[in-house]
Amino acid sequence: MSWRMPSETAPQTRTWMAFPAEGPTLGETDAEREAGYAAWTAVAHAVAEFEPVTMVVDPAEVSRARRMLSSGIEILEAPVDEFWMRDAGPSFVLDPERPGVLGAVAWTFNGWGDHWWSEWRKSAGLGRFVAEAAGAELVSSLLVNEGGGIHVDGEGTVLLTETVQLDPRRNPYADRARVEAEMARTTGATHAVWLPRGLTRDYEDFGTSGHVDIVATMPSPGVVLLHDQRNPAHPDHAVSAELRAFFAEQTDAAGRPFTVRDLPAPDAVRDADGDTDWSYVNHLVVNGGVIACGFDEPEADDRARGILEEAYPGRRVVTVDARELYARGGGIHCITQQQPEVGA
């Protein structure tokens, strides 16, 4: 076996999602809960315009899901509490030595470091459930990790964050060498780029401690799209500068220096909970398109669409309002997981 995680731009069979379930993440009031259901539903419908969508739904939410989702979206029942499919679900991989074989890496999920607020024990089984439902060969991993904590280019490069994979609440006995060995075994990564940190808000109580998928991604080998907070009053202004300087000194698995392209943040710097972490980096690539986060800022949203169109030539960029997603801790990339086409 020689597992390899393809780039997110590779052809896809479908996108997996999990439907919201009642609990702290969804919201405390009826209005908050309805806004959460609607936000997840809007993303599912946007993705379904490009490729099939399978939604994993907790049995208690099936009637609501059938009422809100279009008939073309497949519904599978399984226990769900945390509904961030990117993180609780598997990361799909292929085996170049066995054409036609799909693998699914089931990371160990503990609620982003077993936060006091996270009800994650049901969703800890999503990796195995989705693997079986997809007909994939299960690749079990003892590494506590989430899909939002990594980005790959399909050519051996993986982006990681020191404060995620080396988080003592996740992997108290891990070091870089052990994490890199597990990445090589499960995703085929031959070169790890360790970001020193993530965005500021991600280190608060309801954060992930530095997920890379909100701050940087590789739309093509040797290229990094970097979250660019241009307002000096925002703490992420310094973070963007630090990471820009960091990537200037890094290379990918092929030894190429990275070309860094800034993806400016929206203008809003504060919301009801403090400094925003709103980011256009947290987008989803689908067959023929890109599902981008929107923040009801026409100029900024349009600017982001233009940059994404340049980064992903030939794909149509569609914007979906992501403010209700971010109010619950993440963006469009966080709630989705692409399944690559076997043989791609």
Structural domains in the chain, CATH included, are: 12-339 (3.75.10.10)
* Distance (Å, whole) CA 303 – CA 162: 31
Could you tell me the pLDDT band of residue 343, with boundaries at 50, 70 and 90? confident
> What is the C-alpha to C-alpha distance for residues 341 and 11, in angstroms, rounded to an integer?
6
pLDDT at 205: 84
Phi, psi (5° rounding) for residue 218? -115, 95
**3-state SS assignment for residue 16:** strand
Residue 273 structure tokens? 């909970």
DSSP 102-117: EEEEEEE--HHHH-TT
Rounded to 5 degrees, what angle do the CA atoms 224, 332, 37 make? Answer: 170
pLDDT at site 59:
98
Q: How far apart are CA 302 and CA 280, in angstroms?
A: 11
CA-based R_g, the chain, Å: 18
Residue 323 phi/psi, 5° resolution? -65, -35
**Residues 282 and 331 sit within 8 Å (Cβ to Cβ):** yes
The mean per-residue pLDDT over the stretch 101-120 comes to: 91
Tokens standing for residue 207:
């954060």
Interval 36-60 mean pLDDT: 99
Predicted confidence at residue 63, as pLDDT, reads 98
344: confidence class by pLDDT, cuts 50, 70, 90: low
CB 109 within 8 A of CB 123: yes
pLDDT higher than 90, residue 36: yes
Residue 116, pLDDT above cutoff 90: no
Question: Quick one: tokens of 336?
Answer: 């989705």
pTM (predicted TM-score): 0.97
Average pLDDT over residues 134-151: 98
- Which run of H or of E encompasses 73? none
Whether residue 154 is predicted with pLDDT greater than 70 in this model: the reply is yes
Residue 71 has pLDDT above 90, yes or no: yes
Give the containing element (helix H, strand E) for 77: strand 74-77
Q: Cα 125 to the chain's mean position, in Å?
A: 18
- Is 293 a known active-site residue? no
Which of the residues 131, 334, 335, 342 is marked catalytic?
334
283 pLDDT exceeds 90? Answer: yes
Across residues 282-309, what is the average pLDDT? 99
Quickly tell me which residue has 């089931």 as its tokens.
106
Percent with pLDDT over 90 in the chain: 94
Other Cβ atoms within 10 Å of 162 Cβ, number: 16
Query: CA 240, CA 224: separation in Å to the nearest integer?
Result: 13
Average pLDDT rounded to a whole number, residues 250-257: 99
